[in-house]
């Protein structure tokens, strides 16, 4: 049985693929390929320890500004990953979700995503949310539009209603955000959801981020005292 201080939902900013490749004199695409292999390791590690939800920042809304050939390769890797890994994800009981602005993706990739979500919708294990064409500010704007389309009055709007209409509405609150690659910022990732999340930064580049460091980040989290703005008494989960 997990300790009650164990996180339910972890978000990961998978940073450092390009630098990993540059250090080794390899094309950036090789860094992205190695990063996708690392993603699989962490996903299955998270599932094996009973995490409720894992959100991976795979492709930001700003990443569309990258060189066209790099974006093309990233989309090819995404397509390959879905085709190759969804059967394994299904067998592990994982629920697959994608958050972000799907309309910027190709019809073929949108169809693959919808098929994967439908296939795993009956599973009862960890929810795996992949953030693709995602930006926290864009998510908030899209949520405001969604609420307007639903006819929800401003006088009736509260934080619970807003949160439930975000892309992550069906996921538990984010407890911990891990960022690899040495940078120490959220970079537009889950900015509403991260209001009270704990943050863990490491210099390790994503392709080198092992299961052991993932588990160390979890251990580091369990040693922290989370008060959510309350008094100094320790909150018992």
3-state secondary structure of 178: strand
1 lies in some domain: no
pLDDT digits (tens, 9 = 90+) for 101-110: 999 999 999 9
**pLDDT in the model for residue 123:** 98
Q: Annotated catalytic residue: which of 52, 63, 123, 220? A: 63
Contact 77, 63 (CB under 8 A): no
Q: How many CA atoms lie within 13 A of 161 on its CB side?
A: 13
Its domain, for residue 54, covers 9-222
Question: Tokens in use for 111?
Answer: 């169809």
Q: Is the pLDDT of residue 128 over 60?
A: yes
| pLDDT, tens digit, 9 for 90 and up, residues 152-203 | 999 999 999 999 999 999 999 999 999 999 999 999 999 999 999 999 999 9
pLDDT at 226 over 80: no
Give the angle 197-179-29 at the CA atoms, nearest 5°.
145
Q: Is 63 a catalytic residue?
A: yes
Q: In which band, very low, low, confident or very high, does the pLDDT at 225 lie, cut at 50, 70 and 90?
A: confident
Q: What is the pTM of this model?
A: 0.91
Domain count, the chain: 1
Handedness of CA 188, 190, 193, 198 (dihedral sign): negative
Q: Is residue 4 part of a domain?
A: no
> Is 63 among the domain residues?
yes
Catalytic option among 15, 17, 167, 175: 15
pLDDT at 3: 56
**pLDDT confidence of residue 237:** 42
**Would 235 be classed as within a structural domain?**
no
* Burial label, 205 (beta-carbon count in 10 A; 0-12, 13-18, 19+): buried
SS3 55: strand
- 181 in a domain, yes or no? yes
Q: What is the pLDDT of residue 161?
A: 96
- Mark whether 175 is an active-site residue: no
Retrieve residue 7's tokens: 């996180």
What confidence tens digit (pLDDT) does each residue in 7-20 have? 999 999 999 999 99
Residue 230 lies in a domain: no
The mean pLDDT value for 40-54 works out to 96
Digit-coded pLDDT (tens) for 60-102: 999 999 889 889 989 999 999 999 999 999 999 999 999 999 9
Distance set, CA 134 to CA 59, 160, 195 (Å): 7, 22, 18
Is the residue at 234 inside a domain?
A: no
Banded model confidence at residue 4, pLDDT cuts 50, 70, 90:
low
For residue 46, what is the domain's CATH number?
Answer: 3.40.1180.10
d(CA 12, CA 70): 21
Task: Give the residue among 214, 211, 158 at the shortest CA–CA distance from 12.
Answer: 214
The mean pLDDT value for 22-33 works out to 94
* Confidence category of residue 224, pLDDT binned at 50, 70, 90: confident
Task: Answer yes or no: is 207 within a domain.
Answer: yes
């Amino acid at each position: 049985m997990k300790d009650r201080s164990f996180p339910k939902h972890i978000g990961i900013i998978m940073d450092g693929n390009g630098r990993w490749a540059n250090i080794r004199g390899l094309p950036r695409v090789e860094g992205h390929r190695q990063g996708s292999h690392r993603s699989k390791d962490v996903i299955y590690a998270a599932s094996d320890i009973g995490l409720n939800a894992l959100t991976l920042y795979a492709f930001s809304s700003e990443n569309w500004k990258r060189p066209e050939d790099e974006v093309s390769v990233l989309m090819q890797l995404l397509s390959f990953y879905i085709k190759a890994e969804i059967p394994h994800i299904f067998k592990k009981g994982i629920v697959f979700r994608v958050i972000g602005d799907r309309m910027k993706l190709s019809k073929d990739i949108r169809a693959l995503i919808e098929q994967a979500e439908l296939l795993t919708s009956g599973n009862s294990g960890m929810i795996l949310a992949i953030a693709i064409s995602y930006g926290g500010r864009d998510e908030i704007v899209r949520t405001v539009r969604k609420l307007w389309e639903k006819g929800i009055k401003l006088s009736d709007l509260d934080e619970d209603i807003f949160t439930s209409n975000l892309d992550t509405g069906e996921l538990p609150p984010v407890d911990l955000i891990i960022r690899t690659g040495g940078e120490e910022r959220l970079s537009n990732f889950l900015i509403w959801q991260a209001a009270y999340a704990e943050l863990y930064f490491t210099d390790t580049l994503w392709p080198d981020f092992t299961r052991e460091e993932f588990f160390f980040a979890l251990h580091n989290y369990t040693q922290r005292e989370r008060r959510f703005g309350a008094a100094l008494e320790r909150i018992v989960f």
